[in-house]
Structure 1
Amino acid sequence: MIIEVIAIRTEDIVMAAAGGADRIELVTSIAEGGLTPSAGLIEAAVKASSLPVNVMVRPHSQSFCYSESDMSIMLRDIEIIRNAGATGIVVGALNAEGEVDTGQLERFIHAADGLDITFHRAFDEVRDQHVALRVLTQYPAISRILTSGGTLPASQATKQLRELQVASLPLGINIMGGYGLNGDNISNFVKETRVPEVHFGSGVRHNGSYNEAIDVGRIARIRTILQEEL
């Protein structure tokens, strides 16, 4: 079971590693759902620990439909991320019809040039998640989909996530559950969905707040719970 933790500072990465996290999602502007961090932060994050660091590629929070100007920025950001030595990128794009924008996605994949790729929670705004899943599995470069199964917290969409997990098994792509997960609900969540990866934000911070530091004990508790479930 893979535990991914959102980091917004290098100190977060050190704490996440100490608690037993397996991977970092590096972002800025976490209150907006996560935007692309600065080049300086990316470089520092890569040096902060041996944990894999996947970096958000999202220039703004207005939508997941991107203009050509947006695309130019995002492709340059991917180049910076790759040159900084990060493990991967977290990205997604939709068209006006609520479908995966395959043209833009293919440009991201080409720019990533072998980096690990997560398709992020833009997936939760698609018109049909099962159709989108089949589209994304056409691209072997995409390792996983981060999803809560819709617009509600993941713990309230376990049936949909279980369906996505079952559908993904023969297709070579992982479903990573995220949004609203914490030490109190993770046991039931994993039992009901059987997803192989889980993603945590405020649920592993002091007082459950993004304004607080990462709580090593909360991550360690989740790790213990998951070990008991496997």
Structure 2
Amino acid sequence: MVLEVIATCMDDAIAAEANGADRLELITAITEGGLTPGIGLVKRAVNAVRIPVFVMVRPHSRSFVYGKRDIETMAAEIEAVVQAGASGIVLGALTPDRQIDERALEALLPLTGGLPVTFHRAFDELDDQLGGLRTLAKYPPIRRVLTSAGPGPATEAMPEMRRLVEAASGGPVAIMAGSGLKPESIADFVRQTGVTEVHFGSAVRYGRNGLSPIDPEALLSLAEAVRRIG
């Protein structure tokens, strides 16, 4: 099992590593679903922790539909993040009719320098997620999808999550569950869905508030629970 934790600042990054996170997703604007963090934060986080740092590349929170200028901005951000020494990139893009934007992927993925890419929760706006998974499998840099298996919390879509996991089994793209997961029920969620990677943000913070710091005790307890799962 892999435990990925959102970090929005240096204190988060250090606390996440110290209390059992296997990987960071580095973002800003957590209440907007995550945007590209400042390059200064990326550089410092990469140098401060030993666990992989995956960096969000998302230019705005209006939608996941991006025009030419947005794609150019994302391209510049990817190049800077790669240069900063990040371990991976997190991105996503959709067409106006809620399909994977392959035009955007073909423009951006060659810039990732061979780093693994996570396709983020733009995936949860697709009308056909199984079809979307097949589309993403065509692109070797994309190694995983972060998804709640629908528009709501992951805990409300466990049968759908299981279907995604089964569809992805043996393929190049892993399924990472995120959004609405609860530390106290993670073992049951994993048992029912078969996921091998989980993503936590607000649930490991004080008061389960996205704008609060990481709660070391909550994260350590979760990490121990994840280790027991296997």
Same fold (TM over 0.5): yes
For the aligned residue pairs, the C-alpha RMSD in angstroms reads 0.9
Distance across 1 between alignment mates of 2:138 and 2:229: 32
Distance across 1 between alignment mates of 2:155 and 2:19: 22
Where do 5+ consecutive residues of structure 2 fail to align?
none
TM-score (ref. length: structure 2): 0.98
Give the corresponding residue for 2:111.
111
CA shift, 1:118, in A, is: 0.1
What is the DSSP-based 3-state SS (H/G/I as helix, E as strand, rest coil) of the residue aligned with 1:25? strand
What is the DSSP-based 3-state SS (H/G/I as helix, E as strand, rest coil) of the residue aligned with 1:171? coil
Give the corresponding residue for 1:6.
6
Give the corresponding residue for 2:161.
161
Following superposition, which runs of at least 4 residues in structure 1 exceed 6 angstroms of deviation?
none
Q: Is the 8 A contact 1:182 1:204 kept in 2?
A: no
- The aligned runs of 1:103-142 (5 Å cut-off) are 103-142=103-142
CA shift, 1:211, in A, is: 2.1
Q: 1:114-143: CA deviations, max 9, x gaps? A: 011000000000110000000001112111
* Residue 87 (1) aligns with residue 87 (2): yes
What is the DSSP-based 3-state SS (H/G/I as helix, E as strand, rest coil) of the residue aligned with 2:6? strand
Distance across 2 between alignment mates of 1:210 and 1:98: 27
Q: Is the 8 A contact 1:182 1:222 kept in 2?
A: no
Q: Is the 8 A contact 1:155 1:185 kept in 2?
A: no
TM-score (ref. length: structure 1): 0.98
Q: Is the 8 A contact 1:88 1:117 kept in 2?
A: yes
What is the DSSP-based 3-state SS (H/G/I as helix, E as strand, rest coil) of the residue aligned with 2:184? coil
Distance across 2 between alignment mates of 1:173 and 1:210: 28
CA shift, 1:226, in A, is: 2.1
CA shift, 1:185, in A, is: 2.1
Q: Is the 8 A contact 2:30 2:211 kept in 1?
A: no
Give the corresponding residue for 2:76.
76
What is the DSSP-based 3-state SS (H/G/I as helix, E as strand, rest coil) of the residue aligned with 2:169? helix
Distance across 2 between alignment mates of 1:180 and 1:57: 22
Q: Is the 8 A contact 1:3 1:197 kept in 2?
A: yes
Where do 5+ consecutive residues of structure 1 fail to align?
none
Pairs aligned (count): 230
